[in-house]
Structure 1
Amino acid sequence: MPSHRKSSSERAHLDAFIVTGDDPGLRDQRDLMERPFFSLSKSRRTKPILYKARDVEVQVYAVPEHGMATIWDADVLIWAASQIVEAENNGCRTSRFFRFTPYQLLTAIGRARGATEYRLLKSALTRLQSTVVATTIRHGEHWRRQQFSWINEWEEMITRSGRIEGMEFVLPEWFYRGVVDRSLVLTIDPAYFRLTGGIERWLYRIARKHAGHQPQGWSFEIPHLYAKSGSLARVSDFALDMRRIAVRQPLPGYTLRLERVNGTEFLHILPLAFSTAPVEKPVDAHVISGAWPVNPHVISGAPDTGYQAHEFRKIPDYMLRVRALNLSNLKESNLVVVRPVENSTNVPRSSAKNGERDGGK
């Protein structure tokens, strides 16, 4: 590591937060959980995310050379948030300037520690630094847009023999303040890191933020979920993904049910035993079709890709049941309750038709 720093480096003006070897409970930042900030694909994305709901805007831009930061890259931010909260809980001072070893980070997020993983970590840090975010979230009394990158700068410390001894990075002020403010942080299940699909990881964060531990869960219109995801897929393909995931039930601590109300398709997210305990579910190769004919309650005999439909089958009853309305813990919600169809009870729902309608803890 060089013995001197350029005066332009933020690290010259910040005290280092030296990460210990402790394994803290995992925390995620609420704003990142409910709005589209990351690419959901491992393939290089350069098309920007442009999201707006009422007075909230999120714009994410990538450079062609590196592509947009992915939801797997966001593991670095989850780890950083967890370290900050744990340190402050223990009365320690924290800083945006992190000093740590790659071994600490990779171990905490459930990855191997070989040469390939170190190389992938450096690629993730590069994407986090090169991705530019502009948002009006948390703008306070006066409207304003803040622009930043997920990491302001980073550096690795290498011996003459080529061995990596440590790393440093500086977090943006916007993210750091959102973590220090405990009301903007939620615990997450360590099983999150075992989710392999980008859409599944994103959906878990949505579930944890909105359904939380509410006994009655939360419901979203499929088009609203699509807008919140920032996905590059077509709406119809996105809906297929939701149906396939609802059959597989891969989310730790949550169960998913599809329902149709007055012709509108909803995904209902329910806490499993009112906790976020890990849940292991077998994968069912039969997936719900996107064909939806006159009778929408059909299930496809298509292969596990889910992109074609052949023989129609009735949807299992468990996917159609809806529980009673729960209005607890909805202080942040601009709730609109959709009138249910006959013989169906209601649950909190979010719709994109009149802006963003979010809630839950």
Structure 2
Amino acid sequence: MVGEISNSMADLGRDPGRSPLLPDRHPTPDFFVCDVFDAVPKGDLASMEHPIFSLSTKPDTRLRRYEQGDIFVEVTPSVKGLATVHDRDILIYCISQIVGALNEGRAVDRTIRLKAHDLLTSTNRMTNGQAYEGLKAALERLRGTTISTNIKTGGTEALDVFGLIERARIVRETRDGRMQDVEIVLSDWVFNAIEAREVLTLHRDYFRLRKPLERRMYELARKHCGHQAEWSIGLERLREKCGSTSTLKEFRRLVRTVVEQDRTHSHIPDYAVDLVERVGAVEKVVFLNRQTMERAPLVDTPPPLSHETHDAARQIAPGWDVHAIEQDWRSWCLDKACQPKDPARHFLKFCMTWVERRGLL
């Protein structure tokens, strides 16, 4: 089985008093603006509803298929394996650079040229020879990973096939053979999401999280909890959304280790995490907002929605969890400081937009 850092010594560390975070190798006060979930095809269908990146620390060459109603997503690796959660750092860096250029009013396109050293330091990586070789391998996995999904548009089913990046090229090397300038061409899907400003701000300590599982859990909390006080998800559902290949028993142990370390060190950025074990009920993983994120001016949270509104939402988005869509809507309202005059009508309009972006109308 492909490993997910399940060894107990790797989980707990030889020194339980040591911070689970990696050292801050290149201190800087900047945050990185990026689109971790939505900068993937069709407004986050592939990466939010279905995990794309592997949690494994070893080459993962299995074909993955995820289904939600009539929609499917297949992730096909190259012979070198699926792109990993840590490979995602390259996309985060590219997207943050493009968003920064857009904010400054500069012209942008899918091709971005960057300094390899800048990418490594910005994502809290070492800058030795091994790190440069690792960067090359990550680019190969990103280029080799292929996404296939069927999307219904106007009642017609179409098949879309695309890669996470279209191309990567080493433009210039140093005298000792290390890459210096790199040119990366993003896929149309990623670039279109950036132009639409479908972005989230990540805490810089995201790059200091050692374990892929911790990173994935933070990403899910950032997307679904946002600025809300808390967000919970069933343990088995979390395992699915993380793309874990562990058994539920092993996954529970891995999550419990993250929870125990977070209680001691508070190392998960922005959110505290807890595992609520209820006898005779579904186990829940709960994320609590630490109130450490900058946010728009405070607004009142929309009031609870009626059963009639939820029924109407099910007609708009049949087969989907309307309560999960409602969480996205509430998070969106908080992030945008939006205080709708007619919450029910606003939510149903949000549902229509949510469905349209996934090509389900």
Shift of 1:165: 3.4
Contact preservation (8 Å) 2:117, 2:180? no
CA distance in 1 between counterparts of 2:174 and 2:287 reads 52
Partner in structure 1 of residue 358 of structure 2: none
CA distance in 1 between counterparts of 2:204 and 2:284 reads 27
Match of 2:254 among 241, 244, 251: 241
Match of 1:25 among 24, 32, 55: 32
Partner in structure 2 of residue 124 of structure 1: 138
Match of 1:229 among 237, 242, 245: 242
Partner in structure 2 of residue 70 of structure 1: 84
Deviation string, structure 1 residues 43-101 (Cα, Å, up to 9, x no partner):
1101122111235432111123x111100000001111111111111101111111111
Counterparts in 2 of 1:118 and 1:145: CA distance versus 1, 3 Å: same
SS in 2 for 1:156: strand
CA distance in 2 between counterparts of 1:78 and 1:329 reads 35
Shift of 1:327: 6.0
Partner in structure 2 of residue 275 of structure 1: 293
Counterparts in 2 of 1:353 and 1:148: CA distance versus 1, 3 Å: closer
Contact preservation (8 Å) 1:188, 1:276? no
Q: Establish whether residue 155 from structure 1 lines up as the match of residue 162 from structure 2.
A: no
Q: Establish whether residue 41 from structure 1 lines up as the match of residue 56 from structure 2.
A: yes
Specify which structure has the higher proportion of helix.
2
Partner in structure 2 of residue 255 of structure 1: 272
Partner in structure 2 of residue 307 of structure 1: none
CA distance in 2 between counterparts of 1:329 and 1:171 reads 41
Give 2:61's aligned amino acid.
Answer: T
CA distance in 1 between counterparts of 2:89 and 2:303 reads 30
RMSD (CA atoms):
3.0
Counterparts in 2 of 1:274 and 1:110: CA distance versus 1, 3 Å: closer
Give 2:65's aligned amino acid.
Answer: L
Partner in structure 1 of residue 351 of structure 2: none
Deviation string, structure 1 residues 127-185 (Cα, Å, up to 9, x no partner):
00011112357x66554332111111111124584353311111111111112212x21
Partner in structure 2 of residue 205 of structure 1: 219
Give 1:25's aligned amino acid.
Answer: F
Shift of 1:262: 5.1
Structure with the bigger RCO (C-alpha within 8 Å, sep 6+) is 2
State which drifts further: 22-31 or 226-235: 22-31
Partner in structure 2 of residue 108 of structure 1: 122
Partner in structure 2 of residue 176 of structure 1: 191
Give 1:172's aligned amino acid.
Answer: S
CA distance in 2 between counterparts of 1:164 and 1:354 reads 46
Counterparts in 2 of 1:214 and 1:156: CA distance versus 1, 3 Å: same
CA distance in 2 between counterparts of 1:58 and 1:276 reads 34
Partner in structure 1 of residue 340 of structure 2: none
SS in 2 for 1:87: helix
CA distance in 1 between counterparts of 2:310 and 2:252 reads 23
Give 1:35's aligned amino acid.
Answer: H
> Which sections of structure 2, spanning at least 5 residues, go unmatched?
1-28, 38-43, 296-300, 312-318, 332-361
Q: Establish whether residue 218 from structure 1 lines up as the match of residue 185 from structure 2.
A: no
Give 1:211's aligned amino acid.
Answer: C
Contact preservation (8 Å) 1:48, 1:61? yes
Give 1:45's aligned amino acid.
Answer: D
**Sequence identity (%):** 32
Partner in structure 1 of residue 103 of structure 2: 89
CA distance in 2 between counterparts of 1:144 and 1:219 reads 34
Partner in structure 1 of residue 357 of structure 2: none
State which drifts further: 185-194 or 234-243: 234-243
CA distance in 1 between counterparts of 2:310 and 2:268 reads 25
CA distance in 1 between counterparts of 2:164 and 2:55 reads 16
CA distance in 2 between counterparts of 1:223 and 1:194 reads 26
Shift of 1:194: 0.3
Partner in structure 2 of residue 165 of structure 1: 180
Q: Establish whether residue 59 from structure 1 lines up as the match of residue 74 from structure 2.
A: yes
Shift of 1:273: 2.3
Deviation string, structure 1 residues 300-330 (Cα, Å, up to 9, x no partner):
xxxxxxxxxxxxxxxxxxxxxxxxxx76799
CA distance in 2 between counterparts of 1:205 and 1:261 reads 28
Contact preservation (8 Å) 1:246, 1:257? yes
Decide which structure has the larger Cα Rg and report it. Answer: 1
SS in 1 for 2:32: coil
Shift of 1:123: 0.4
